[in-house]
Structure 1
Amino acid sequence: MPTTAKDSILNLPNILTLLRIAAIPLLVILLLSPSREAGFWAAALFAIASITDWLDGYLARRMGIETVFGKFLDPIADKLIVMAALIMLLPYNRVPAWMVLVILGREIIITGLRGVASTEGLVIPASNLGKFKTIFQIVAILGLLLHYEYHWFFAIDLPILTVNMHNIGMFYLWIATIITIWSGVDYLVKFSRVIAK
């Protein structure tokens, strides 16, 4: 039986991607409050969404149902949820505005260049820097969403067993920002070389 356009779009990996996009408004609503509880649930939702980012790609390859729609939508879903989280954290001064500008600016520029390259039939090889960038962004945002101090080991209130999640988030955000700039420059260089040829 031939596969219809509807069947090629509404498969499990693509549904997971669509659910990730559908989670964005809920994430935004949760982050309207700076409370500890709202941050915890926002972090839980963001973590689940991040797991589906890995899972949808794995399932698409495993099930042999990679589609053009999925390849287009998956990176957009990733960028949208990262942008939503970072922008919603700005009013609470949990993240420097210039870092958000660098991260979002890089995504917009590279997405635009990929669009230009694809219309010209050009393929620009991706590097592992993009994967590392995404991993560090996810860890950073989780820390920034949790924000407050947490006690480990059955809530024993000892300084040595206390961790400040905001500091952890900022540590990883610095790494993510550096890799973001590095991967952006790397892509621009590759784009220039391909265009020059």
Structure 2
Amino acid sequence: MRLPMIQKNKSKSSDGEAKPEISAEDRYNLGGSKAKGLTLPTILTLGRIVLIPAIYYVYFLKTTWAAATCSAIFLVAAITDWLDGYLARKMNSTSAFGAFLDPVADKLMVAATLILLCTIQPVGPATTYPALVPLCATCIISREITMSALREWAAAAGGEAHKAVAVNSLGKWKTATQMAALTLMLFFKEGGKGLVPELGANLGVALLLASTILALWSLAVYMGPILKYMD
């Protein structure tokens, strides 16, 4: 079964010729894969979305194990983010649905967790500067919305514009620091006595700030080359 063709906008190139449609294989860089149904990588991606309500539920529990459990659930979800991509390549089971769903699941998980962390002020520098976590959350979520719109436009434009928004190493570092920051902030959200809780809370906020800087930096890097294709 052929993957569906993605309909483009009715725009034309600078020489007046209509631009060719872009297929789902090209849109999601599938390399001609024709996996059908719910593959294992796609199931893992769906599982990542299902874990979001679990994180919300555990986050507000008033028990001694709530913070550790909440952090563990998020960590499992973060690991599946790497695992589903690895399995998709290893098993040659990529699909247009899976390629679409994967970044959506990532953004939902990160945005939901950031909003959670804004409801109960984490300990450490975030307590001293209460606007810090909401500011980082706003920057990161705004960046993700902007990048989603940019990639949608680039996919419609096709050609060099589509290649210009391919994931780069800066984006990967942004994701890695985000996952580490959120895991630590969930684990140490209530702090505690001793050097380890204090260092853990401080490191979590520091990594969140670093991931915010990387998010904005990577957005600027993506926007630079793509601006010349916008007319």
TM-score, length of structure 2 as denominator length? 0.74
**Structure 1 segments (4+ residues) deviating >4 Å:** 2-5, 148-151
2:227 corresponds in structure 1 to 192
Do the aligned partners of residues 140 and 34 (structure 1) sit closer, same or farther apart at CA in structure 2, a change above 3 Å counting? farther
One of 184, 207, 214 as aligned partner of 1:179: 214
One of 8, 15, 20 as aligned partner of 2:48: 20
Give the secondary structure class of the aligned counterpart of 1:10. Answer: coil
Q: By percentage of residues, which structure has more helix? A: 1
Answer yes or no: is the 8 Å Cα contact 1:141–1:173 preserved in 2: yes
Pairing 1:145–2:222 present: no
Give the distance between the partners of 2:40 and 2:145, measured in 1 at CA.
28
Do the aligned partners of residues 111 and 34 (structure 1) sit closer, same or farther apart at CA in structure 2, a change above 3 Å counting? farther
Give the secondary structure class of the aligned counterpart of 1:65. Answer: coil
The one-letter code of the counterpart of 1:139 is A
What is the CA distance between 1:35 and its match in structure 2?
A: 5.3
1:110-189 to structure 2, matched below 5 A, reads: 110-121=147-158, 122-123=161-162, 124=164, 125-147=166-188, 148-149=190-191, 159=194, 162-164=196-198, 165-189=200-224
What is the CA distance between 1:194 and its match in structure 2?
A: 3.4
Give the distance between the partners of 2:174 and 2:210, measured in 1 at CA.
8
Answer yes or no: is the 8 Å Cα contact 2:75–2:183 preserved in 1: yes
Give the secondary structure class of the aligned counterpart of 1:59. Answer: helix
Task: Give unmatched runs, 5+ long, in structure 2.
Answer: 5-34, 127-132
1:106 corresponds in structure 2 to 143
Answer yes or no: is the 8 Å Cα contact 2:3–2:96 preserved in 1: no
Give the distance between the partners of 1:35 and 1:139, measured in 2 at CA.
23
Give the distance between the partners of 1:36 and 1:182, measured in 2 at CA.
38
Give the distance between the partners of 2:228 and 2:58, measured in 1 at CA.
44
- How many pairs align? 187
What is the CA distance between 1:37 and its match in structure 2?
A: 2.1
2:119 corresponds in structure 1 to 91
What is the CA distance between 1:195 and its match in structure 2?
A: 3.1
Task: Give unmatched runs, 5+ long, in structure 1.
Answer: 152-158
Identity %: 35
Answer yes or no: is the 8 Å Cα contact 1:32–1:88 preserved in 2: no
What is the CA distance between 1:129 and its match in structure 2?
A: 0.8
